[in-house]
Structure 1
Amino acid sequence: MQSPEIGHMENYGASHLTVLALTVVAVIVLVRAARGRHGETVTTAFGWVLLVVAVLWMVWWWLPGNFDVGQSLPFHLSDWLRIIAPLALVTRRGWAIVLSYFWGLTFNLQALLTPDLVYFRYPALEFAGYWFLHASVFVVPVVLMWGLGYRPTWRGWAFGWAATIGWVGVALGVNALLGTNYGFVSEPPGNPSLLDLFGPWPWYVVTVALLIGPVYALLTWPWATRRTLAGTVPLTGGLARRRDSARPGGA
């Protein structure tokens, strides 16, 4: 088991505001790079770096001195996303692209705007790991859409909604079995969060599950209009499309 917590990051303190500002800078820099002559190479390289860091971070939490059954198992949505997002950049598969887009710009926002960052052993390392990974999986979908020209389709919307409900079911099952709170689907976070807007548990789980489909639809609609789809080519599987001026990927 893990040692007791030794601290907690203050939300909207100097360090929080600094990393949010750096995230905005990273978005601007990487979108410009993705649109440049070497955009394919740069974004793929970033995907590999993110994937390596994500795997190392997971392994670090599995070390005997760090392991905690409530934190170390890969059942938080962010655990899945930090693997899926780099795979989207490296493989350009449609399923990874749409999940990076929907999850990175919705659920991941809670981790950025109302982080529940608790320090256990090495605050500097835990701070760096938390923010690099959560900021990166926000940057990735922005780069995919506005930098590389990928577009979710209505089939991708349905897949994203189904995958989200599937993850909620997995997290609820794991929490019931182990007495954990992965994904905050079994009880709210210990600090104020965006979930507070949707009522107490379990109603916020029900409300979010009902709302996420329409929210994903709003994120899909601007890209799925006939005018926007002009000049794009479908990826295999039909979950996403891409501007035909860029190299199509798989799905």
Structure 2
Amino acid sequence: MNHFFSKEGGLSFEVFGIAHIITIATLVFTAMMIYFFRVKLRGVVLNKVFRFGLAITLILVQFSFYFWQFYHNQISLQTSLPLNLCAISIFLAAYMLWTKSYALFEVLYFWALAGALQAYLTPELFYGYDHFRYYQFFIGHGLIIIAPLFMCFIHQYRPTFRSLIKAFVTINLYALFVYFIDVLVEANYLLLRHKPKTDSLLDFFGPWPYYILVLEVAAIILFTLLYVPFLFSKNQSKIELENELNL
């Protein structure tokens, strides 16, 4: 266990290995339990405990990663700014949970389930289950997914078609902002300047900048698929209607 917090690590990560499958199953089980106990979790006291607890855990998990980087002298403008989609989503999800912001839910529902879920299933991770980074990565990404589901199950928030458009426009505006930061500090946040050095799905999407266009199309498809369950839902909540009127 002396390598638990080390820079090199011990075991290598295996995609869809036993540890990975157990981790995925844990996420699914957690989401199911939140849905199963949704009525009890609407109680004032219990609701605050869970919302604030999730929000604080998200922040602690992210700052534990910064501490690990600092401990191993890896803090840098090129790798440590919270600009990647999952990193910024952690802070937005924490704020959404703390304030019950519907406006943030509209964006995070699509960002989290399309982005963090993909990262959860096919992570760019080199550390196995015996290392700190394994738990930091999956707890952080898992809670990004759980956060909008919590607001959906417990507070009955629902994305609308306008939410889909807002999420897509916002992510493009954010990418434009990040690109300028990438150029300024010579970084590659959001993979906007080049593909990752390791093998990835982007290898099948052509060279820069064509793979970015493919990702745009993929985002539209994924966002649409995530909206479909609500498009055909006959049980539209009062909260959705109220949010529509307040926009």
TM-score class, shorter-chain normalisation, is 0.7 to 0.9
SS at match of 2:208: coil
Residue 27 (structure 2) pairs with residue 23 (structure 1)? yes
Which of the residues 170, 180, 190 maps onto 1:183? 190
Q: How many residues are treated as equivalent by the alignment?
A: 235
Residue 47 (structure 2) pairs with residue 43 (structure 1)? no
Q: How does 1:103-118 map to 2 (within 5 A)?
A: 103-118=111-126
Q: Percent identity?
A: 24
Residue 101 (structure 2) pairs with residue 97 (structure 1)? no
- TM-superposed CA distance for 1:110, in Å, is 2.4
Which of the residues 209, 212, 223 maps onto 1:202? 209
Unaligned residue ranges in structure 1 (runs of 5+): 240-251
SS at match of 1:229: coil
Structure 2 equivalent of residue 82 of structure 1: 90
Structure 2 equivalent of residue 156 of structure 1: 163
More strand by share: 1
Distance 1:136 1:4, change over 3 A: closer
- TM-superposed CA distance for 1:165, in Å, is 0.1
TM-score (norm 2): 0.79
**Residue-by-residue CA offset, 1:78-126 (whole Å, 9 max, x unaligned):** 111011112222211122111220111101122111111145xxx7222
For residues 108 and 200 of structure 1, the distance between their equivalents in structure 2, rounded to whole angstroms, comes to 24
Which of the residues 65, 70, 73 maps onto 1:63? 70
CA contact (8 A) 1:54 1:83 kept: no
**Residue-by-residue CA offset, 1:147-202 (whole Å, 9 max, x unaligned):** 43111123322221121001211232222222222122222234444444544432
For residues 52 and 148 of structure 1, the distance between their equivalents in structure 2, rounded to whole angstroms, comes to 22
SS at match of 2:158: strand
Residue 176 (structure 2) pairs with residue 169 (structure 1)? yes
CA contact (8 A) 2:158 2:230 kept: yes
Structure 2 equivalent of residue 130 of structure 1: 137
- TM-superposed CA distance for 1:214, in Å, is 4.9
Unaligned residue ranges in structure 2 (runs of 5+): 1-5
SS at match of 1:206: helix
Distance 1:107 1:230, change over 3 A: closer
CA contact (8 A) 2:85 2:190 kept: yes
Which of the residues 11, 14, 24 maps onto 2:15? 11
61-70 or 76-85, which deviates more: 61-70
Distance 1:48 1:75, change over 3 A: closer
Provide the alpha-carbon RMSD of the alignment: 3.1
